[in-house]
Amino acid sequence: MKNKELLKVTGLSKSFGGVKAVNNVSFTLYEGESIGVIGPNGSGKSTLINLITGFIKPDSGTVIYKGRNITGIAPNRAVNLGIARSFQMVRPFYNMEAYKNLIIPLYSPRVKKQLQGGNFGDRDEIAIQLLEDVGFERESQIPYKLTGSLPHGYLKRLELARCLCLEPDLVVLDELFSGMSMSEVASTVPILERILQEGRDMIMIEHRIRELFRIVNKVICLNFGKKIAEGTPEEVMNTKEVKEAYLGSEGESIA
């Protein structure tokens, strides 16, 4: 028997001018599941996430989250319902110390409500703790450095930490691993596994298939805005359309 539906996306579409970036995509995320979204460049993966998290309003289709229609909701309200996202292109606050970046999400209504009566008082302290969780060495200078001076791998993990600040129920990661070194990826995978074990669900866009398949238990493949495959990682990789999307079609299909 399946768990409760956490997120149900039905017939989601969005076009930019003549380009159908996302075309009639539907899928369902059950509680306790994690979904990976793969697809060639420009296949609409990021747009799909932007539609779900409210950064772009869809042309048609619905997004149901915890039984509630959140189609076209304001991004900040989506966050306060428990959907936290990271950006593919990092968007930190460059003019602050790294740990100060986390004060902003910690200031959100969601966290304020949850932390009331808890043993968290000092936001600076929680921020440093969270940074330590994603691999900022606590005793070093790194959390106190100006964000603009940090290497890209740290900025990516800062994005992750910003999601974790919000105590989300659904974590949406947009190509977290892109731009990370092999060792950074290797050290980030356990963090993601731990997030899943804490009972949070996850939607991950990723190009690093091997790491992705270690984390998620269901995969959606997009191509030209359309969903061309859905299922377990093995099923999806053996689908003809997916192979064609990635490797190009063979002779007979052209003819």
Partner 1 sequence: MKAGYRKERIDRGIKARADDIFAISSYREILYLTGPRILAVLALLIYPLLTDVTGAYWQTVAFIACIIALLTLSWNFLFSVGLVSLGQAYFFGVGAYFTGFFDRTIGLPPLYSIPLATVAGAILCTIIIYPVLRLRGIYFALITFALPLFLMRIIEATGYLGGTEGISGLQRLPGITFSLYVTVVIVLAVTFIFLRLFDTDYGLVLRAIHDNDMSVLAGGLNVQLYKAQAVFIAAMPATFAGALMTLHYRIVGMPAFAVEYSILPLTAAVVGGTGTFAGGVLGAFILVPFSELLRAFGTLRIVMYGIMLLFFVVGLPEGIYRFAQRKYFQFERIVPLEEKADEK
Contacts with partner 1, residue ranges (CB under 8 A)? 53, 55, 74-76, 79-80, 84-87, 91-97, 100-101, 103-111, 123, 141, 144, 162, 165-166
Closer CB to partner 1, 167 or 244, in the complex: 167
Q: Which of 214, 196, 207, 92 is nearest to 153 (CA)?
A: 92
3-state secondary structure of 46: helix
Closer CB to partner 1, 106 or 245, in the complex: 106
Closer CB to partner 1, 37 or 166, in the complex: 166
| Shortest distance, position 217 Cβ to partner 1, whole Å | 26
Closer CB to partner 1, 87 or 136, in the complex: 87
Closer CB to partner 1, 109 or 151, in the complex: 109
| Shortest distance, position 205 Cβ to partner 1, whole Å | 15
Closer CB to partner 1, 45 or 85, in the complex: 85
Can you list the alpha helix ranges (DSSP code H) found in the chain?
Answer: 45-53, 75-81, 103-106, 109-115, 123-133, 152-165, 182-197, 209-215, 233-237, 240-247, 251-254
| Shortest distance, position 79 Cβ to partner 1, whole Å | 3
| Shortest distance, position 204 Cβ to partner 1, whole Å | 16
Q: Which of 56, 71, 29, 1 is nearest to 171 (CA)?
A: 29
CB 122 within 8 A of CB 170: no
Helical packing angle, 123-133 and 152-165, nearest 10°: 120
| Shortest distance, position 103 Cβ to partner 1, whole Å | 5
CB 198 within 8 A of CB 170: no
Rounded to a whole number of angstroms, the distance between the first and last alpha carbons of the chain is 44
Bin 67: left if φ > 0, else alpha if -120 < ψ < 50, else beta: left
| Shortest distance, position 104 Cβ to partner 1, whole Å | 4
